[in-house]
Amino acid sequence: MSKCRICESAVTEFLDLGRQPLSDAFLRPQDTDGEFFYRLAVGVCESCTMVQLVEEVPRDRMFHEDYPYHSSGSSVMREHFAATARGFLERELTSADPFVVELGCNDGIMLGTVKDAGVRHLGVEPSGGVAKIAAAQGIRVLNAFFEEETAIGIHEADGPADVIYAANTLCHIPYMDSILRGVDALLGPNGVFVFEDPYLGDIVAKTSFDQIYDEHFFFFTARSVQAMAERFGLELVDVTRLPVHGGEVRYTLARAGARTPSPAVAALVAEEDGLSDLATLERFAANVAKIRTDLIALLRKLKDEGKTVAAYGATAKSATVTNFCGIGPELVSYVCDTTPAKQHRLSPGTHIPVEPAEVFARSYPDYALLFAWNHAEEIMAKEKEFRANGGKWILYVPEVHVV
């Protein structure tokens, strides 16, 4: 039995998604030999209720020079991050010389708005490729992993931060003790540490098991974040439900006693009653198994009927689906994607060819398996011609269905 990375209590495993590759390792056809695999399994801490992976993938394997995800790739996310930055500028970055630090700034989509407002900022980004994109836009970037030593260096050079922010980043980091000691070292007396990540409540409610992959180590709830914060002299003072990425929560932490917690914190903690119970999580695992059975049955039926099936969106989370379900090019002919770094490569593990987005419209398939289901509204609005030509979408959240 593994130990919790937060409190070192026992972790009880409830879901095994099998042998999985690195979710963002899109391979050249000649480089498939020696592909890295690990066991993807999830457990819950018996003490602090933190849900987490039971096996850690080395961070240098995941976040590297060629890391292909760009936060600015979606118009919905571009507006989300612009609105987030405007909120910080209006409410938190109001002193004479404010300073904001973003952990995992990616291509700088949030900090761009901060930079344009003339506010001091720093993005800490370990993936060299996206860090260079941010820097080319005039954003100040430190190409490094954020931990306690990094934070101390930033404080010495720039002083305390009014805001430390992380989006879809904190859940990636197993070494949370060093992160939160770093926050303690860098955060100003009245500052806030704000992070947003996929919410366990939404994952369980929607059976969105593809949110579980190598880069997502922790699956937060208000209750588990509250317990985690207390161990490091911090306090959960606000929570906000977010619709992005299939359902997230934005958590706001401050130094203990520095701010009065919002009523939203107690309300969400109460709403979570039973969420992290083993019985609830085992029911979730059973629902995941049903999705696998139903999705494979549908794809095999379509193949037997001579229908063509492609996939849409070479997302990181699609690796969990294809490898857990055993979906390869014999069932799905290709995946289309707008990210140049993924195109003309093979999907992790099951080696489905990844093609540019224009291939989709060149000869529409009969069915499209929507891996990027969290952007369904945006994608379906863009791909009206596919439906007009008789095409149908296959979705698997919260259950397998065709639209």
Using the 3D structure, point to which of 272, 289, 314 is the last residue of a domain. Answer: 272
Q: Is residue 149 part of a domain?
A: yes
Task: Please tell me the total count of domains within the chain.
Answer: 2
Q: Please report the pLDDT score of residue 71 as a whole number.
A: 61
Residues 173 and 228 in one domain: yes
pLDDT of residue 242: 95
Same domain, 264 and 384: no
Cα–Cα dist 66/123, whole Å: 18
pTM of the model: 0.92
Q: Do residues 309 and 194 share a domain?
A: no
Whether 312 and 321 have beta carbons less than 8 Å apart is answered as: no
Could you read off the pLDDT of 83-137 as tens digits, one per residue? 999 999 999 999 999 999 999 999 899 999 999 999 999 999 988 888 999 999 9
67: pLDDT strictly greater than 70: no
Domain that holds residue 97: 71-272
From edge to edge, which strands make up the β-sheet containing 99-103? 141-142, 120-124, 99-103, 161-167, 187-198, 248-255, 234-242
Interatomic CA distance for residues 145 and 275, integer angstroms: 32
Pairing of strands 354-356, 335-337: parallel
| Sign of the CA dihedral running 268, 271, 273, 276 | negative
Q: d(Cα 341, Cα 81) in Å, to the nearest integer?
A: 23
Alpha-carbon distance values, 393 to 6, 43, 68, 100, 323 (Å): 40, 32, 25, 42, 20
**Given 241, 272, 303, which residue is the final one in a domain?**
272
Residues 75 and 218 in one domain: yes
> Helix, strand or coil for residue 366?
coil
| Amino acid 59: pLDDT | 72
Q: pLDDT of 346-364, one tens digit each?
A: 999 999 999 999 999 999 9
One domain, residues 238 and 137: yes
Q: Of residues 130 and 332, which shows the higher confidence score? A: 332
Query: Mean pLDDT of all residues in the chain?
Result: 94
As a whole number of angstroms, the distance between CA 323 and CA 100 comes to 39
- Residue 45 domain-assigned (yes or no): no
Instruction: Write the pLDDT tens digit of every residue in 213-268.
Output: 999 999 999 999 999 999 999 999 999 999 988 899 999 999 999 999 999 999 99
